[in-house]
Amino acid sequence: MLFNSYEFILIFLPLVLLATWIMRFFGRIPALLSLVIASFSFYGLWEADYIALLVLSIFFNYMIGNAVYSTHNKSLLAIGVAANLCLLAYYKYRLFFGAMVGLPAEGSLLIPLGISFYTFHQISFLIDVHRNNVSPRGFAEYLLYVTFFPQLIAGPIVRFTEVISQFKNNRAFKLTYSNTAVGLTMLAAGLFKKQVIADSISLYATPMFQLAETSTPVTFIEAWTGVLAYTFQIYFDFSGYSDMALGLARIFGIRLPVNFNSPYKATSIIDFWRRWHISLSRFLRDYLYVALGGKRRGKGRRHINVLVVMLLGGLWHGAAWTFVLWGGLHGIMLIINHAWRDVVGTRWRIPSWLCWCLTMMGVMLAWTLFRAESLHAVWNIWQGLIGIDGRLVLPTSYQASLGSLTPLVEMIGFQWVTTEIVARSFPTSGGWLLACFVICLGLPNTQAWLRRYRPACGLVYGDLDARSALGATGLTLQWRPTLVWAGLTTAMLVVAVYHFGNTSEFIYWQF
């Protein structure tokens, strides 16, 4: 069941709200268990075949967690982590690794929904228990921690320490006016980003990537249009999902950690990864990078650790070489960024606008690896981006004016625009791309917009408006529970629901 579906918005969510409201009269635990049942139902309505796998994973990790807590035995921790990784490897990577060693592929690979996320949830739980950061007591709370439907399928990757005190609070799961207003506002904003912006801009990205898979050369205009479109598509798709996840949790009085913090305002690739998929970056840093030694063994070892972490982070996104190379490219960019800071430090400052341009160029080049289905398509697109092999185009109106220079221009690599090329170059995309650019850089994000009401946990509020064009003018957008903002929220929700006929899955649901 998708968040962006009639079934969820008009049937599932109202029923869950009603059930939670009724059960809360009988106490905190009945309300909690009603959310557990709702979460299993949410998962089962989408993928009933793998509910047993989810249940077994929960029972196994809870028992291992209690054993680790009682004995502080590192071997038990290793067994628990290894079992989780083996489960993930079997369902997600067996064909990929099998192909590497020459094993024949048997059937298609069906990946249980959300396995990457609930596996990482439980690995972090085991490690935190071993580090004495949390007690595993409370099976009902642990059930909800793993299965809570707003974050079950695609995160954020939540730590048990972040929600256990909220689950055990005497006021937990009470439906209040403030929580409902903030939560519905975030839900509406997320739905609008996904349905109206992300899915609309995908119409300009998808055809180019499909074309790149063929033997047809992708022209300069096509390549830049498609890559820019996908750059904004994945931004608003993931930003929209993150808003919806946090908003749905907030309706029930739970604050999840922020997972998306205006990454396209970043002025370095290090800054980008502090803003994009924050919960995954944090998991990889605290549970993998630190375990590998971090930066404790010198700068050379730090660079190796960064590259290893990013390669594995890329592989986590999907069992394909394109994802591995995407992670590797980001790892190389991070190493260059760290090395630059180590050598130059503050002695030579590059203008912020140039830092931003370099960062976005690297991010966009990497997105082609993330989106393309083959390395052939990536190479086809990259050739188009730099205009080699006759992919640069000039309007035919220039042909006559160039006169004798025409052969020279054609020899350099230009070709003249034909009707077919214009049709393939998506000339109507300019308005959408400009609008996306303005929203990403000119407006505060949802967390900054709602910061008075702390929509999430683990975010330093107040630093985002200064990083936007709107903030530079002295104007601010601050949400308040007024009729005006209620009207805007309702309008976003109505427009988003109107677009449900073109509903597509969230990009991160495939991971």
Domain-wise residue ranges, the chain: 6-102+111-172, 181-371+431-510
- Which residues on adjacent β-strands are paired with residue 457? 257
239-to-88, 279, 405 alpha-carbon distances in Å: 26, 13, 48
pLDDT at residue 358, as a whole number = 95
Report which of 197, 273, 210 is spatially closest to residue 241, judged by C-alpha positions. Answer: 197
Angle between helices 28-47 and 51-71 (to 10 degrees): 130
pLDDT at residue 100, as a whole number = 76
Cβ neighbours of 221 (radius 10 Å): 22
Report which of 257, 240, 246 is spatially closest to residue 179, judged by C-alpha positions. Answer: 246
pLDDT at residue 419, as a whole number = 45
CB 366 within 8 A of CB 358: no
CB 55 within 8 A of CB 112: no
- Distance between CA atoms of residues 2 and 194, nearest Å: 12
- Distance between CA atoms of residues 284 and 289, nearest Å: 6
Q: From the candidates 277, 303, 317, 330, which is the catalytic residue? A: 317
For the cut 80, the answer to whether the pLDDT of residue 408 exceeds it is: no
Q: Residue 169 gets which letter from DSSP?
A: S
Helix residue ranges, H only, 101-148: 115-130, 139-147
CB neighbour list of residue 89: distance below 8 Å, 6 or more residues apart: 97
Which pTM was predicted? 0.90
- Distance between CA atoms of residues 52 and 448, nearest Å: 40
pLDDT at residue 235, as a whole number = 96
Give the pLDDT confidence of 323-338 residue by residue, as tens digits. Answer: 999 999 999 999 999 9
CB 96 within 8 A of CB 157: no
Q: What single-letter amino acid sits at 154?
A: A
Give the pLDDT confidence of 410-435 residue by residue, as tens digits. Answer: 555 555 444 455 455 545 567 788 88
- Distance between CA atoms of residues 332 and 340, nearest Å: 12
41-to-44, 46, 87 alpha-carbon distances in Å: 5, 9, 23
Told to judge if 72 belongs to the known catalytic residues of this protein, a careful annotator would answer no
Cβ neighbours of 72 (radius 10 Å): 13
CB 229 within 8 A of CB 204: yes
Q: How many CA atoms lie within 13 A of 463 on its CB side?
A: 7
Report which of 165, 166, 148, 170 is spatially closest to residue 157, judged by C-alpha positions. Answer: 148
Window from 128-142, 288-302, 390-404 with minimum mean pLDDT: 390-404
Report which of 123, 121, 115, 148 is spatially closest to residue 49, judged by C-alpha positions. Answer: 115
158-to-279, 426, 470, 507 alpha-carbon distances in Å: 7, 40, 32, 19
For the cut 50, the answer to whether the pLDDT of residue 469 exceeds it is: no
pLDDT at residue 467, as a whole number = 47
* Tokens 């320490």, residue located: 161
Give the pLDDT confidence of 230-261 residue by residue, as tens digits. Answer: 999 999 999 999 999 999 999 999 999 999 99
Q: Is 504 left (phi over 0), alpha (psi -120 to 50) or beta?
A: beta
Question: Dihedral of the CA atoms 404, 408, 414, 420 (nearest 10)?
Answer: 40
The DSSP H or E segment spanning 422 is: helix 419-424
- Distance between CA atoms of residues 482 and 240, nearest Å: 23
Q: 500 is written with which tokens?
A: 């449900």
pLDDT at residue 443, as a whole number = 86
pLDDT at residue 470, as a whole number = 44
Q: What's the count of helices (H) and strands (E) in the chain, helices before strands?
A: 25, 2
